[in-house]
Amino acid sequence: MTLPPLDDLLATARVVALPLVTRFRGIDVREALLLRGPEGWTEFSPFVEYDDHEASAWLAAAVDYGWTPTPAALRTSIPVNATVPAVDPDSVAAVLDRFPGCRTAKVKVAAGDQDLAQDVARVRAVRAVLGPEGRIRLDANAGWNVDEAEHAIHALAEFDLEYVEQPCATIEELAEIRRRTAYMGIPIAADESVRRAEDPLAVAQAEAADLLVIKAQPLGGIRRALAVIEEAGLPVVVSSALDTSVGIAMGAALAASVADLEFDCGLGTASLLAADVTAAPLLPVDGAIPVGRVEVDPDLLDRFAASEDRVDWWLERLARCHAVLERGASADLAGPGEA
């Protein structure tokens, strides 16, 4: 990857603050920094709590997507899942209505302010809406220890689960819960153990998961993500990180390049936003989103522009992450023992 000069990035940088329909991941507003490269608009939106080292991978992804042509697409649309935040059961139907045609729902569980009984009630409500043919996958975001995960999976197994995503935090815990629940036939998926790991292949090498959740931004871009998929040799679900439609388009380009796409992808999350940066947001239609670049609407960039202090925060972050990538490139050029 050739890193553009920082001034080139700053020249087109726009920071937005988009309200969410429902509180998600502990936030009500999603901030993102958009850039325009030779290939079109791209996105840099690591979560605010991530340090510069982790966030720099997201900048590498933004540069990869904005300054390099995307790989050849193997499909023109991507089937996606609905995403159900940790809402009350009475709100489930309204959430699912925002994902027309989606046959799969990912349900958030293990929220710190809720208990297992609330998770069971939410998943039961999802099953009631989807019917017996719908697919339900759970996402615990590493919220359980091994014993809690075993107990929860037992309690939720009656709802015919497609898989359980990141039930525990560490690779060792994932391997243990996978061993304990193998007889139930419910696959274990890894997300944080891939996208937030120094070695995204470690979870596959440890045989701690049955499938991987792959996101373009945290892994440093489409090409890096494709390399991880190839080396891991496991089925994958391509997902997003509550991106704007620009970031989701990056994820769709990745999904379109994956040879075997067995599972519906987590790329329908524009439905969780109450506003977007394009007049044609990538909302699910008949359970799928199209593959292709998104054109940003200048009026929406202005309407949902972040406050001046937040713009300054993001531009300073952009500069720091650019410096991290520059140091990494210099070290690569110097070679072992010379940096």
Return the exposure string of 138-172: e unless at least 16 CB atoms fall within 10 Å of the residue's CB, then b: bbbbbbbebebbbebbeebeebebbbbbbbbbebe
CATH number among 3.30.930.10, 3.30.390.10, 3.40.50.300, 3.30.210.10, domain 6-70+299-334: 3.30.390.10
End-to-end CA distance of the chain: give it in Å, rounded. Answer: 19
Average pLDDT (290-303) is 98
Please give the Cα distance from 268 to 314 (Å, whole number). 25
Residue ranges of domains in the chain: 6-70+299-334, 77-294
Please give the Cα distance from 310 to 225 (Å, whole number). 30
Q: Is the pLDDT reported for residue 339 higher than 50? A: no
Length of the chain: 339
pLDDT in tens, 94-152: 999 999 999 999 999 999 889 999 999 999 999 999 999 999 999 999 999 999 999 99
- Is pLDDT larger for residue 336 or for residue 13? 13
Q: Can you read off the two tokens belonging to residue 196?
A: 């937030």
- What mean pLDDT is reported for the chain? 95
| pLDDT confidence of residue 195 | 86
- Is pLDDT larger for residue 59 or for residue 1? 59
Known active-site residue 108: yes
| pLDDT confidence of residue 335 | 40
pLDDT in tens, 140-169: 999 999 999 999 999 999 999 999 999 999
Q: Is the pLDDT reported for residue 332 higher than 90? A: no
- Residue numbers belonging to the annotated binding site: 139, 165, 191
Please give the Cα distance from 161 to 73 (Å, whole number). 30
Q: Is the pLDDT reported for residue 324 higher than 90? A: yes
Average pLDDT (226-241) is 96
Residue with tokens 């925060």: 313
- CATH architecture of the region 77-294: Alpha-Beta Barrel (3.20)
- Residue numbers belonging to the annotated binding site for Mg(2+): 139, 165, 191
Max CA separation in the chain (angstroms):
62
Spacing of C-alpha 195 from chain mean position: 9
pLDDT category of residue 330 using cuts at 50, 70 and 90: low
> Could you say which of 106, 108, 122, 137 is catalytic?
108
| pLDDT confidence of residue 25 | 76
Q: What angle do CA 112, 115, 118 make, to 5 degrees?
A: 120
Please give the Cα distance from 245 to 249 (Å, whole number). 6
> Could you say which of 106, 122, 127, 215 is catalytic?
215
- Please write down the long-range contacts of 91-97, taking CB distance under 8 Å and 24 or more positions apart: 91/22, 92/122, 92/125, 92/126, 92/129, 93/125, 93/129, 95/22, 96/126, 96/129, 96/130
User: In degrees rounded to 5, what are phi and psi of residue 126?
Assistant: -65, -45
